[in-house]
Amino acid sequence: MSDFLNTFFFNVYPYLAAIFFIGSWIRYDQAQYSWRAGSSQMLSSAKDKRYMFIASNLFHLGILGVFAGHAFGMLTPHWMYEAWLPVPVEYLARKYQLVRSRR
């Protein structure tokens, strides 16, 4: 499985990404005004507008929560969060190395 993922992400995916990027560039160059925001059609009726308003706000609150959690995790000093960890990080690193060496 590891060989397949390695082959896919480093040998196949860059070519797929290049094809999509170049294709998008050509389409934008040939027909600029054919690009539309189809997602705005979801906001057409009054009933859907209320639900989309609620969903949009919840989505953005979730994104802000994820951002705040990552910022807190990256900006917290080691001495502060070592007390919260149930297992020392060195133990987990050694355990991971043992698992990798057995494969």
Binding residues for heme b: 60, 70
Annotated binding site: 60, 70
Cα–Cα distance, 63 to 60 (Å, whole number): 5
In whole angstroms, what is the distance from residue 22 CA to residue 28 CA? 10
Yes or no: say if 27 and 34 are a contact pair by the CB < 8 Å rule. yes
